[in-house]
């Protein structure tokens, strides 16, 4: 058995980093995001001034690479399609059905990326009780782990993509009153944006080991979270600008809604590209 746990860090009730002292005197650090994304632990032997990396077994690393490739690819394509849909709405023929179909297909890719992100958390290698290594459990298609900030972040993200799906499907409805448009289309849009923002905030908490965001420009994981959070903010701007005024039946600002969607979607595509390199 290892020595007692030396240090626990995290945000609120969530543990995002643990430090142990192994029987051999090595200092072992489990950091939530590197462990689940790259399958790594940091190890420092007595007298050393630099850490070395301990990795999970080859099978676990292959699993992480495959899941990461599918998730990042889905976000790249989904973001690109949302950008195309916004461009068609802003510069195209003006037929809302064209944009609606492009958005719907993009939404399928976003939901795929969200679900695979949950799978990444569930099937990532876990640290052993003594902190000496990472072990890989059997494959799981679903699990409920609300006290893990990484699971909660990805679950909220996935839920947000499903809520966006309600918005996208309702956009095909015809003959709606202004009140129905705001209730069936605009409200799910705003709720989805809020969930995206919450997911991004939890992502910062995992990386920063505290409840509020930090700046870690040398961390690729930080850039993935930051770029996606910028996309979430732009999506929220778009949603607010897409509110239909009851008095006039017109949107608050069509141009802002389209441009914020386009730029926000490109942020998610860029985030997907960056995520592709955050692998074992």
pLDDT, one tens digit per residue, over 183-240 is: 999 999 999 999 999 999 999 999 999 999 999 989 999 999 999 999 999 999 999 9
Least trusted range by pLDDT, from 32-41, 87-96, 222-231, 239-248: 87-96
Q: What pLDDT, on the 0 to 100 scale, is given for residue 134?
A: 81
Long-range contacts at 239-246 (CB < 8 A, ≥ 24 apart): 239/186, 239/189, 239/190, 239/193, 240/190, 242/186, 242/189, 243/182, 243/186, 244/178, 244/181, 244/182, 244/186, 245/178, 246/178, 246/179, 246/182
User: What would the DSSP string read from start to end of 72-111?
Assistant: HHHHHHHHHHHHHHHHHHHHS---HHHHHHHHHHHHHHHH
How far apart are alpha carbons 160 and 35 in whole angstroms?
25
Q: Are 106 and 82 in contact (CB under 8 A)?
A: yes
Q: What pLDDT, on the 0 to 100 scale, is given for residue 50?
A: 67
Least trusted range by pLDDT, from 99-103, 128-132, 156-160: 128-132
Residues belonging to the chain: 280
pLDDT at 62 over 80: yes
Where residue 95 falls among pLDDT bands split at 50, 70, 90? Answer: confident
Q: What is the pLDDT of residues 139-158, one digit of tens each?
A: 999 999 999 999 999 999 99
DSSP secondary structure letter of residue 150: H
pLDDT at 255 over 80: yes
Q: Are 199 and 192 in contact (CB under 8 A)?
A: no
pLDDT at 253 over 70: yes
In sequence order, the β-bridge partners of residue 20 are 28
Q: What pLDDT, on the 0 to 100 scale, is given for residue 261?
A: 96
**Model confidence, pTM:** 0.91
What burial class does residue 100 get, using C-beta atoms within 10 Å of its C-beta: 0-12 exposed, 13-18 middle, 19+ buried? middle
Q: Is the dihedral of CA 122, 13, 210, 40 positive or negative?
A: negative
Rounded to an integer, the average pLDDT of 119-148 is 85
Rounded to an integer, the average pLDDT of 111-115 is 97
**Cα 91–96–97 angle (5° rounding)?**
125
Residue 71 vs residues 21, 51, 142, 153, 254: alpha-carbon distances, Å: 35, 30, 16, 15, 31
Q: Residue 9: which H helix or E strand, with range?
A: strand 7-11
């Amino acid at each position: 058995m290892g020595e007692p746990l030396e240090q626990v860090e995290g945000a609120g009730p969530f543990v995002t980093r643990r430090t142990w002292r192994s029987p051999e005197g090595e200092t072992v650090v489990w950091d939530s995001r590197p462990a689940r994304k790259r399958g790594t632990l940091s190890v420092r032997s007595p007298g050393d001034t630099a850490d070395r990396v301990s990795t999970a077994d080859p099978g676990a690393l292959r699993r992480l690479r495959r899941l990461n490739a599918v998730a990042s690819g889905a976000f790249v394509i989904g973001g690109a399609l949302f950008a195309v849909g916004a461009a068609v709405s802003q510069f195209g023929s003006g037929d809302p059905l064209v944009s609606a179909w492009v958005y719907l297909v993009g939404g399928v890719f976003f939901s795929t990326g969200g679900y695979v992100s949950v799978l990444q958390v569930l099937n990532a290698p876990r640290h052993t009780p003594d902190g000496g290594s990472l072990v890989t459990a059997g494959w799981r298609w679903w699990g409920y782990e609300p006290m893990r900030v990484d699971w909660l972040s990805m679950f909220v993200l996935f839920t947000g993509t499903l809520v966006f799906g309600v918005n996208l499907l309702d956009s095909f409805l015809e003959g709606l009153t202004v009140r129905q448009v705001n209730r069936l289309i605009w409200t799910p849009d705003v709720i989805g944006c809020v969930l995206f923002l919450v997911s991004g905030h939890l992502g910062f908490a995992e990386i920063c080991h505290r409840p509020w965001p930090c700046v870690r420009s040398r961390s690729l994981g930080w850039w993935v979270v930051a770029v996606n959070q910028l996309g979430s903010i732009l999506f929220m701007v778009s949603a607010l600008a897409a509110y239909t005024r009851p008095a006039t039946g017109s949107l608050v600002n069509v141009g802002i809604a389209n441009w914020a969607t386009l730029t926000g979607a490109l942020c998610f595509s860029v985030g997907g590209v960056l995520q592709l390199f955050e692998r074992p």
